[in-house]
Amino acid sequence: MTKKDTMKTKTDQELLKLLADTRAELRTVRFSAAGARAKDSNAPKKLRTKIAQMLTEQHARSTSSRQAASA
């Protein structure tokens, strides 16, 4: 059984790269859906959820580092 890969296990650089890639993928899915019927109609929702999880993890890391610096 493989270990589940979560946002918390990724480094800051990996998280930034994954965020940029996911945003680009969402853009292509959104504009390709304009011309023809999409294969996976839930793909945009899944990608937006993934982006929100990444942004939430980034925010949590920045607030925890700020609190550690001020203490």
Predicted model pTM = 0.82
Question: Which amino acid, 58?
Answer: Q
Tell whether the torsion through CA atoms of 40, 50, 11 and 5 is positive or negative. negative
pLDDT in tens, 10-65: 889 999 999 999 999 999 988 886 677 767 889 999 999 999 999 999 999 999 88
From 18, 40, 19, select the one nearest 29 (Cα to Cα).
40
